[in-house]
Amino acid sequence: MKVIVGKDLLSANAGQAGENRVLFNNNRVTVINLISAPGSGKTALLEKTAELLRGKLKLGVVVGDLYTTRDAERIERAGVTVVQINTEGVCHLTADMVARALQEVSLDQLNLLFIENVGNLVCPVSFDLGEHAKVALLSVTEGSDKPAKYPGIFREAVATVISKVDLLPYTDFDLPACLEEIQKINSDQQVFITSARTGQDLSHWCAWLEQLAAGKAKGNNLASR
Ligand SMILES: Nc1nc2c(ncn2[C@@H]2O[C@H](COP(=O)(O)OP(=O)(O)O)[C@@H](O)[C@H]2O)c(=O)[nH]1
Ligand SMILES: [Mg+2]
């Protein structure tokens, strides 16, 4: 009997991730793996980002979801090329799933590709998809203790987007404590304090994306380009 242990799965994934990265680099497209808990506002952020970057960067999105195509339909309405991956219950995207989705994308037409990972703060962190940068997103309705409880994603991310700050007055989210915790885990990252509802800080977020796409902001794997 052949037993496949987690380590084998991860090394097979790393091989495909490397191939994805070569493809991204050859097409000069910068790729972000967006990771957060379900419902924290990934799709809402991408809808707004697509509006704000229209005419500035050519954007594409690969959306991972367990079953539905609802997010892809929302992002498509914002006028962006979208490919949906249904993982059929798997709690994270793999490099192989992304490679198949890429067959549907004209990478040479894009400057920036977002991969909206499956809503989960743990599993997606272990699976390199070939991206140049991981971005974490945390909404104020989730509680300010989440960076301390799930440090993996905040350690890996080059930027953290704190979302739904329009809801701050209705929560017990301790923003200074949360920022301090993120700083303790990874002092070398950008933090954006945003609302997709009011547009707060989205201009800074989009300016940073433009810099990242131009190779002027730091990514996890941009040096390899
Ligand atoms: N008030 C408020 N609601 C938001 C914001 N961003 C997202 N939402 C809402 O939060 C819910 C989940 O958002 P969605 O983008 O689907 O989250 P995802 O599962 O991470 O992609 C939706 O009802 C959104 O309208 C925000 O900045 N402020
Ligand atoms: Mg979504």
Helix (H) or strand (E) holding 11: helix 6-26
Distance from Cα 19 to the centre of ligand 1, integer Å: 33
Is residue 103 helix, strand or coil? coil
**136 DSSP β-pair partners:** 35, 160
38 CB under 6 A from ligand 1?
A: yes
How many whole angstroms separate alpha carbon 69 and alpha carbon 85? 8
How much is the pLDDT for 64?
Answer: 93
Distance from Cα 45 to the centre of ligand 1, integer Å: 8
How much is the pLDDT for 1?
Answer: 64
How many whole angstroms separate alpha carbon 78 and alpha carbon 183? 33
Residue to substitute in 51, 82, 161, 163 for testing ligand 1 pocket (most ligand atoms within 8 angstroms of CB):
163
How much is the pLDDT for 194?
Answer: 98
Cβ neighbours for 124, distance < 8 A, ≥ 6 positions apart: 33, 35, 91, 92, 93, 117, 118, 153
How much is the pLDDT for 12?
Answer: 87
How much is the pLDDT for 172?
Answer: 97
How much is the pLDDT for 5?
Answer: 61
The answer to whether 138 touches 224, Cβ cutoff 8 Å, is no
Cβ neighbours for 69, distance < 8 A, ≥ 6 positions apart: 84, 86
The full set of domain ranges for the chain reads 28-216
Distance from Cα 64 to the centre of ligand 1, integer Å: 16
DSSP 8-state assignment for residue 92: S
Distance from Cα 183 to the centre of ligand 1, integer Å: 25
Q: What is the residue with the minimal CA distance to atom 1 of ligand 1?
A: 164
15 CB under 6 A from ligand 1?
A: no
Q: Please report which residue ranges of 27-150 form alpha helices under DSSP H.
A: 42-53, 70-77, 95-102, 146-149
Q: What is the residue with the minimal CA distance to atom 7 of ligand 1?
A: 41
How many whole angstroms separate alpha carbon 94 and alpha carbon 97? 5
- From the list 13, 8, 26, 16, the residue with the least C-alpha distance to 99 is 16
pLDDT under 70: residue ranges of the chain: 1-7, 223-225
CATH superfamily, domain at 28-216 = P-loop containing nucleotide triphosphate hydrolases (3.40.50.300)
> Has this prediction a pTM greater than 0.75?
yes
How many whole angstroms separate alpha carbon 169 and alpha carbon 5? 46
